Structure 1
Amino acid sequence: MTAEMPQVAAEFGGDPQITFPPAAAPAGLKVIEVVEGHGPVVRRGDTITVNYQGQVWGNPEPFDSSFARHDPTSFGIGIGQVIQGWDRSIPGHNVGSRLLISIPPEYGYGSRGVPQAGIGGGDTLVFVVDIIATR
């Protein structure tokens, strides 16, 4: 699976640099634990704090990055407060983990996309997520 996924430079907490493979995005929701954390496990219904960077598959520029803003964000996970790709992929991982997540449109923003952010209806999204805390 890792051969079809992008590569991420930088360790937990560092500004992620994503390099995309020449192949098309993989089918389905894919998650790679780039760095394994050793803190508490994230469970559905928890409020988590993360740093993240989101890019459209193949686009070298992020459409959103809390890393760039130096402003981690908090939200409930697994309860519909964020896109399904996050709700399905983040629970079960530990605080201190860095995740690389490939999210197909059906688990992202669907056929409507988010045009103002440069996300088309058929775009696969790629996120690097550092799990900072859970409660």
Structure 2
Amino acid sequence: MSERVQNRSAGQGPGTKAERRLAAQLAAKKAAEKKRRRQSVLGALAGVAVVAVLIGVFVAVNGGDDDKKPAAGTPSASAPAAAAPGTQQLPEGTDPALATKPAVGPGKGELTKLAVTTLVKGKGPEVKAGQQITTNYVGVFYKDGKQFDSSWDRGQPATFPIGVGQVIKGWDQGLVGVPVGSRVQLDIPGDLAYGNESVGGRPGGPLRFVVDVLAAQ
């Protein structure tokens, strides 16, 4: 091994100092470049933050596009206004009497069989078993007239299949054959309703319903 190589290995020759100086220059250059990149990233992030703040202020002041759209369930400007409490908008051609919630009182005497009383006769086709019907209804206890259920109070008609065992027997038997557009009173004994005892929060005993048949399909 030569003396020059030995000196370099020991870190003593003039060549070693030059290499160290070069290495130091390279290290300083890398550090400066890294610092410039960091400053560039921080500057970009600061710019994004400023833009985000400006957008937030613009939306807060102007309401944004979303504020100009109706919220879910809110009528648009072109849609008809919501019906007042206790009223319903009706399909075209329906008797106006069906637009207002009926007053339903108690029955009289003992109820032993299903009784169907037509209060308003509709002009539509008769309901057939297996159809989906749309109704408004009020349900009360037959004996005292106390209400236990009402689609009117929920603000939305109820739609369900009829004549196929999906509702109580009094409805299946009492509504098949009723013309669409009718308002009928169903006096239903307990064995055709939910039974004679109140179980699981269901009303027990004889019941009275006033049902508006709005549609069938």
* TM-score range for the pair, normalised by the shorter chain length: 0.7 to 0.9
Inter-partner Cα distance in structure 2 for 1:130 and 1:25: 25
Cα deviation for residue 20 of structure 1 reads 2.8
Aligned residues: 122
Please tell me whether residue 113 in structure 1 is matched to residue 215 in structure 2: no
Query: Is residue 25–residue 57 contact of structure 1 (8 Å, CA) maintained in 2?
Result: no
Equivalent position SS for 1:92: coil
Percent identical residues: 39
- Residue 16 to residue 114, structure 1, CA distance change in 2 (3 Å): farther
Cα deviation for residue 112 of structure 1 reads 4.3
Give the aligned partner of residue 207 of structure 2. Answer: 125
**Structure index of larger Rg:** 2
Inter-partner Cα distance in structure 2 for 1:32 and 1:126: 11
Query: Is residue 106–residue 141 contact of structure 2 (8 Å, CA) maintained in 1?
Result: no
Q: Deviations over 1:47-69 (max 9, x none)?
A: 00000110111333310000111
Cα deviation for residue 116 of structure 1 reads 2.0
Unpaired runs of at least 5, structure 1: 1-9
Cα deviation for residue 97 of structure 1 reads 0.1
Unpaired runs of at least 5, structure 2: 1-95
Greater RCO (Cα-Cα under 8 Å, separation 6 or more) = 1
Give the aligned partner of residue 98 of structure 2. Answer: 12
Give the aligned partner of residue 86 of structure 1. Answer: 171
Q: Which amino acid aligns with 1:46?
A: Q
Cα deviation for residue 83 of structure 1 reads 0.2
Please tell me whether residue 30 in structure 1 is matched to residue 30 in structure 2: no
More helix by share: 2
Query: Is residue 29–residue 85 contact of structure 1 (8 Å, CA) maintained in 2?
Result: yes
Query: Is residue 13–residue 130 contact of structure 1 (8 Å, CA) maintained in 2?
Result: no
Length-normalised TM-score, structure 2: 0.53
More strand by share: 1
Query: Is residue 47–residue 74 contact of structure 1 (8 Å, CA) maintained in 2?
Result: yes
Please tell me whether residue 69 in structure 1 is matched to residue 151 in structure 2: no
Inter-partner Cα distance in structure 1 for 2:209 and 2:150: 9
Length-normalised TM-score, structure 1: 0.82
Inter-partner Cα distance in structure 2 for 1:58 and 1:109: 15
Inter-partner Cα distance in structure 2 for 1:114 and 1:129: 24
Cα deviation for residue 26 of structure 1 reads 2.8
